[in-house]
Structure 1
Amino acid sequence: MLARLKALFTDDDAERMGRRSHDEVQLAAATLLVEAARMDDRIGPNERARIRSMLEQRFSLTDPEADSLLAAAETETEGPAQWHRFTSTLKDRFSEEERIQMIEMLWEVVYADGELHDLEASLLRRVGGLLYVSDRDRGAARMRVLDRLGIADPTIEAP
């Protein structure tokens, strides 16, 4: 019994800490995606499906794992916004390229309904700043998403 207790406390602490850190990153990313979807006061089925799909792909999750992560993120966003906590986790643990990919994922969520709302644009500006993603990189990520989704850029007037 003493051996089991000792193993419990020494059983690859680094591995357990790494797993916990990875879970924090997943929850931080998922929560920001859900927060972006809630900016227009509701999460539509297209937004929910897009978030779930991105989480599965980004973190190599199974269906039940993605469902569980999405549910946890939705619970996190029911209270007051804590963007700083989540962006701080991602800023510290994501590379610059991964932070830009996160911004791109956020653009995909806000454009899931085909339009950009003022609060969604504001969220992307603030989160981009907290993630240390430049305006230029954030704009380029937006253009890639618009192109991929086949949405015309509303800020560019037709000739």
Structure 2
Amino acid sequence: MFGELLKRLTATDPTRLPDPDARLALAALLVRIARSDGSYDADEVAHIDRVLAERNGIGPFEAAKLRAEAEALEAEAPDTVRFTRAIKEAVPYEDRASVIEALWSVVLADGVRDHEEDAMLRLTANLLGINDRDSALARQRVEARG
């Protein structure tokens, strides 16, 4: 099912992903961050669904379906370096900055700021071209929203 997308993600020179593929790749990145601490709980799943619904202007059932597809893709996806490189090519910088906010919101969804999630998010932000300062500001905005 994800063969063509995985092929593009693993290419040495990934081409720009079409919108539906980029949307799925970003959803898989949210799942990857949530799973990075070895715990993927209902709060994180529900939060990912809300983020996907808001970012994509879709309803809860479509968001849950997208997340389920993203979970399967994330399980099969190559390393985060190639994965984020492909996303970086497909998503404009302004949107990548908002992706970091979405990632922080997933990290903080379960009320526990785990070291593994912090490390994965720091790596991901860097790979997406977002510096530590901007990532920290994104985290602070998410924390302020509660």
TM-score range, shorter chain: 0.7 to 0.9
Q: Which residue is 2:8 aligned to?
A: none
CA contact 1:31–1:86 (8 Å) conserved in 2: no
Q: Which residue is 1:24 aligned to?
A: 21
Quick one: distance in 2 between partners of 1:72 and 1:80? Answer: 12
* Corresponding position: 1:41 with 2:59: no
Q: Which residue is 1:71 aligned to?
A: 68
SS at match of 1:77: helix
Q: Superposition pairs for residues 53-68 of structure 1, below 5 Å?
A: 53-68=50-65
- The number of residue pairs the alignment matches comes to 131
SS at match of 2:18: helix
* Corresponding position: 1:111 with 2:108: yes
Write the letter of the residue equivalent to 1:119.
E
Write the letter of the residue equivalent to 1:116.
R
- State, as a whole percentage, how many aligned pairs show the same letter: 37
Write the letter of the residue equivalent to 1:132.
G
Write the letter of the residue equivalent to 1:112.
A
SS at match of 2:38: coil
Match of 2:144 among 137, 147, 153: 147
Quick one: distance in 2 between partners of 1:92 and 1:133? Answer: 14
Q: Which residue is 1:13 aligned to?
A: none
Quick one: distance in 1 between partners of 2:100 and 2:50? Answer: 16
Quick one: distance in 1 between partners of 2:64 and 2:29? Answer: 16
Change (3 A) 1:147 1:81: farther
Q: Which has the larger radius of gyration?
A: 1
Question: How many angstroms does 1:78 deviate by?
Answer: 2.4
TM-score between both structures, scaled by the size of structure 2: 0.81
Quick one: distance in 1 between partners of 2:101 and 2:112? Answer: 15
TM-score between both structures, scaled by the size of structure 1: 0.75
Question: How many angstroms does 1:93 deviate by?
Answer: 2.2
Write the letter of the residue equivalent to 1:131.
L
Unaligned runs of 5+ in 2: 1-15
Change (3 A) 1:108 1:81: farther
Question: How many angstroms does 1:80 deviate by?
Answer: 6.2
Quick one: distance in 2 between partners of 1:138 and 1:91? Answer: 15
Root mean square deviation, CA, Å: 1.8
